Amino acid sequence: MSRFIFSFVIFFLIWLGFTSTFHYQEVITGALLSLVLASLSYKSFTERGLFYLSPKRLFYILKYLAVFLIALVKANFDVAKRVINPKLPINPGIVTYHTTLKSDTAKMFLANSITLTPGTLTVDIIDDKLYIHWIDVKSEDPEVIYSEIGKDFEVILKEIFK
């Protein structure tokens, strides 16, 4: 039941986000559609259900969103500078990022966070290694790669998915 409720809540929040209105017709339609989708997909949508909605995890989810938005803005400005001024040096390459995250879901969130910030693209995930195309490889040192690319994301994701 916890997994069903969690799925319903997520689908309904997505519906409200996309419709951006609180007219009763929209809310009722969204609730009905969310019920149908949740009943069809709750078994494959989440493994832990309401487990993720504890106050501590909600705090870390909000913190993650803030850190992600800041990283997104910084990366966009960095790539925009490189586009506007082609004389800025770039050193593209694929680097190996070692993660300590255990769950596949946490690794997927990390990989998508890295990919969504311009200048980086997660190419593959094998065990605890993410292979990332980086627009400007600053170093081959694993510690530098860890701190420059995904440390901020990973620290928070550990708290969310433990």
User: What is the full per-residue pLDDT of the chain (162 aa) written as tens digits?
Assistant: 777 888 888 889 889 988 878 889 999 999 999 999 988 887 766 666 656 667 888 899 899 999 999 999 999 998 898 889 888 878 899 999 999 999 888 999 999 999 988 889 999 999 999 999 999 898 889 899 999 899 999 999 999 888
Angstrom distance (rounded) from CA 116 to CA 80: 15
On whether the pTM is more than 0.75, the answer is no
Please count the other Cβ atoms lying within 10 Å of the Cβ belonging to residue 150: 24
Q: Give the dihedral sign, CA 37/41/42/47.
A: negative
